[in-house]
Every structure is written in C-alpha cells, then in structure tokens.
Chain A
C-alpha cells in the first residue's frame, strides 16, 4: 500500500503535533478559522482521537467577517472545543484600526492580544497553521521555532532540526511556535479539505465572480476575481492561477519587509 502525497503530509503533521504535546503538555492551538488553521485543527483532532486535550485560541481583532464568527461558534460546539477568545480590549475600545496603519493595527490587535493571552495562560508552546509557500519569510521557518520573552524570532540563529528531532524549550525562551503545516501547499490544503469532507467558511467560494483566497479581517482582505464556487473548481483554479495566495492581504503589501518586521516582533 503506497501512501499518497496527502497521506505523507498528514502523517508528518500528526507526528509533529504529538511530539509537541509530549514535550510541552501546556499548549494551545491558534485557530483563525481560515482554511489552514481549520485543517490544523482537523489534524489535531485526528492526533488525539477526536478530543483535543488543550485549548483552542482565537485571536479576535473585532474586525473579522461575520461568517468567521458564525463558523467558529458552530464548530466550537460541534467539535467540543475548549475555545478561548483573546482580544486586546483596551486597543479595540480606543479605536485601533487599519486606518492607523496596517503594521500598527496587526501588531496591536494580533501580536499584543496573543502576548496577553500567553501571559495569562503561561502556554509553553503554540500550534500555528502557517505554510512555507505562503510567503518567502515563512519559507524560512522551522517546525519548532523558539520565541524569547519579547516574542522575538531570532531568524538569524535558528536551532538545527534533524531527522524529526526538535528543539526543547530552554529557560530563556518564552514559548515555542510549532508549525505542523509548513510542508503543505495551498493546493494540498484544498485537496485535503475535499478528501476529508471538511467544512470551510463560505467566503472561500465565489459569489458574483469573486472569492477570497485568504481570509482574516474584513477591513484588510480583498477578494480575487474567480468563478470557483466549489472545492473542485478551487483546485482547478489553483492549478492554473498565476496570482499569489496572499495578494489580497494588506499586511503583506505595504513594503517588502513588513512581514519580516511583523514576524520578528511575534506576529503569526
């Protein structure tokens, strides 16, 4: 029995998920409700036979699409998740928005909200659904990636990672970011969603000639021209598309190194 490409990706991810839980126990999985982190959540459910033994965290900027909130609440219940919503309430109340600059807004409402949540729960490790093919910076990531107390990513001095042996958390490290989906491509995610009959947010499917390739805050996501209103059509579209997945995401655009700067400060 030969394992398929998706089988191999799935098994690699489950191995990493179980390694991190064995090492750290006090962990959480970040769920943005998008296709990648929902795939991650699906894999985490598989790794633990349906019952996730740790919290699922949503970093909520208050600017997410309504469809995202609806999906979150529906499946948090159906999958019996220990859902924790992290919000930077002070900045939300003070009117922080993308109009003050995408860099500042992402940093305050996402990175800071995440910092507060970690400080509160003292998580030793966090699972994130980032992928190498999303962005040149993410292509440089490790499966286990340490962050210091300022949340900084020391990308010039990353730990070696050999033969599925990963970094332990050292005393001077705040937490470890665990990235089980690094090796997946966008098309792999969609083929897996199809194979697993996994639910996804409606925004990904075309309506009136447009759909979202990547979702986040309503204020900073632009739809792309597309007629793909089924998973099969999305897979077909991706095989021929020449447009970047995150082309509709403001935080990737402002300048060439914005993603690097956001990430070095602790952005996802």
Chain B
C-alpha cells in the first residue's frame, strides 16, 4: 500500500440512512481499527442496551451517541489493498448542513447513501445537489438496509430509478449503484449470498475505481499572494501555486495592477529550487521592485483571470440570519477579500426540491440557493468555476463568519 496514492471521499445522504454505520462497518470488516477502539464501541453500545453500533466508531461525542445522530463531520483514515483513503463522514440532519458542506468541500469523490426502505428523501436531494454545486463529479450510490426489504431486487430497482432520475436532473451520473446492508455487512467489504441477482462490485471494490483529481500543474500559472515576509533584508512574497508552474526568470504579470516583472528567485527554506508546481507553497523574489501584497494574483500575461466588479454566481446561504439584498458583506476568493453586496437575487431556490421560491427577491434564507449578481467595491480576479475551480469558488463573510459558499458563473 502506497501512501502517495491517496483518495479522499465524502459520504452524504439523509439522516439515519446509515452513513456512519457504513464507514464503521467498513473499518470493522477490514480490521482497520485497533482492538481498543472496537472494545470501546462494543462497551458503549452495550451500555445503551444496543447491538454493536458501528456508527460509534465515528460518532464520538456523547450527544451523538445519546441521540444516535452525527453532529459534526469526521475524517478517518483507511487502507484498501491498493490505496490509502481519507473518509469524510458527514451529518444527515438538516440542522447540520454546513458541517456536511465543510466535509464535502475537502473531498475528491462522493458516496451517496439511500435507505431502500425509505427511498429518496429531503437530505438525499439537498446533499446531492450540494455535491453538484461543489463540482464533485464522481459519485457512487449505495442503497442501504437491503436486509429491511428482504433483499428485494424489485425494491432496489424502484428506489434506484427514483435516485437516478433525481441525480440526472442535477447532472450527476453515478459510476455505480450498489445494494448493501451496512448493519449486516452485506456487499460492504464482503459479498453475500442473499443478493445473487447482483453481480457488480462491493462497496470496498467500488472505491478502488474512483479517480484522483488531476494535479493542476499543466494549466497556466495562477499564484495568489498570501503574505510578504522580510527575510534577511529580502522581500519574499509567499503564496500557494493554485495552477501551473512557477519558474526562475519567468515573465509574469500582476493582477490587478497590471505591472509586469520577472521571477528573480524561488525561495524554499533549506532547499535550492528554480521552480515549483501547483499545490506547493512557495516564496519568491522579483527582478523589479514591484509592490506585491496579499490578494494580488501573479499570472501569465496571456492567461489572466477576469478582473471585474460584477459577478454572476450561484450561492448557498448557510446562516440562520437571512441575507438582505444590498447588505454590506465581504467576498473571499483565494486570498482576495473584498467588500461587496448582493445587488440582485435573481432566483431564490429551495435546495432540496429545486423549486424556484421567488424571482428578484429581497432576501435569502438559511439553506436556500440563489442565482445572484454580486457587486464588489473594488475589482476582483475570478474565473468561471467550470474552467478553474481555484479562482471560481468563493465564500461570503458577515461579522467574521463564513455564511455562504458560491461558484462563479460569470
């Protein structure tokens, strides 16, 4: 098993459809946990008069166990025979959607879980819609609690069709649909003889078919400046290369100032380097004394981001206090932070049913999605999300709190 081959995936779905139980069962069946963690789970389950609650392997908060729900997102590590996984569990309760989004925003792929007895529910829809907004394209759907429907292929097909119809409407094409029972351990890590009619992969096998997001070093350079340090009388600019490659002697342009300069040196502590690639945090100096500060973006003159004070975007509001049109808030995109307001709320949308609640609205309520026009006080460098996620996604901040996530549609 090679750690350099790592994939992170998130598991989402409606409350009680079995997210934590599935992960707990996967860890248990693959002997991924130390015996004292298993004993702790068994003891805590017995204390509450229950059978082994595999969800307790993840739900560690006292409140979570008392109420049998997941409150906050958790990350656990797991190895299959061929690769290392970061598994991100999320809560299914409507109250904790912001925790689900926190988890999902850190994933490369997603698993949607649907209880076959209950079928597609409110959070099944909302969560999967959030996946499509976050740009998570790889989705595996597992249909859980097959034991509750006597392993009926007919019921599986029925719920599967419902799910696929919904997912199709939000442009998600699942790579696989797998009937499982997390509680009984059917088709999780091990096959079972109760579903002879299913000959596809188990959940564990399906994971190895997911692909990593490709590194962004083959794109044009985008390097948002994070800070400027003084190191031995040198001004060293620091930031993370979001896309592309930074090289010594490279000609670059600074957005928004439009100034041009050359990279004089690439600076890394105790390392001699003349280049760095996407995802690396670098320092560099410039040939000319151009003024750089946090928020400016270093790029190539032939591939500049859009510099604009008017952005079309989809936003997801996640604060109990509604957002009013024209209210003064701020937008953060990469290291840029600029005062802004929502100038127009073109459509307010229910994030579970996709029903348009209102056109040209005055406010946006908790958990609603909207198509908006954002007016920034100063121009901001952005790209369309479908073209460049790194400069195409942003958060909205009010009173020092992140209240919304959004993507640029331009």
Contact = CB atoms under 8 A, between A and B. Distances in A.
Interface of A: 1-8, 11, 14-15, 18-19, 21-22, 45-51, 132-133, 135-137, 139-140, 142, 155-156, 158-163, 165, 167-171, 182-183, 185, 187-188, 191, 241-244, 247, 256-257, 260
A200 to B, nearest CB: 18
Contacts of B353: none
A21 B77 contact: no
B72 interface: yes
B118 interface: no
Contacts of B35: 242-243
Interface stretch (B56-64, B138-146, B174-182, B364-372): B56-64
Given A15-B226, A51-B231, A133-B76, A167 B4 contact: no
B132 interface: no
Band of interface residues on B? 35 or more
Interface string B54-89: 000110111100000001111111000000101000
Contacts of A191: 3
Contacts of B281: 11, 14-15, 18, 47
A197 B405 CA distance: 41
Nearest to A186: B77
B226 A244 contact: no
A15 B240 contact: yes
A18 B62 contact: no
A49 B229 contact: yes
Contact of B402 (A2, A19, A162): A162
Interface in B227-282: 227, 229, 231, 236, 238, 240, 267-270, 277, 279-281
Contacts, number: 149
B231 A22 contact: no
Contacts of A182: 75
A3 B280 contact: yes
A19 B77 CA distance: 26
B34 A1 contact: no
Interface of B: prevailing SS: mixed
B51 interface: no
B4 A4 contact: yes
Interface of B: 3-4, 6, 34-37, 40, 43-44, 57-58, 60-63, 71-77, 84, 86, 98-99, 101-102, 105, 215, 217, 226-227, 229, 231, 236, 238, 240, 267-270, 277, 279-281, 283, 294, 318, 332, 393, 395, 397, 399-402, 405
Contact of B102 (A5, A156, A162): A162
Contact of B61 (A7, A47, A140): A140
B402 A156 contact: no
Contact of B86 (A160, A163, A183, A241): A183
B6 A11 contact: no
Given A160-B402, A167-B400, A183 B37 contact: no
A19 B340 CA distance: 22
A185 B267 contact: no
Contact of A132 (B4, B62, B76, B402): B76
A163 B393 contact: yes
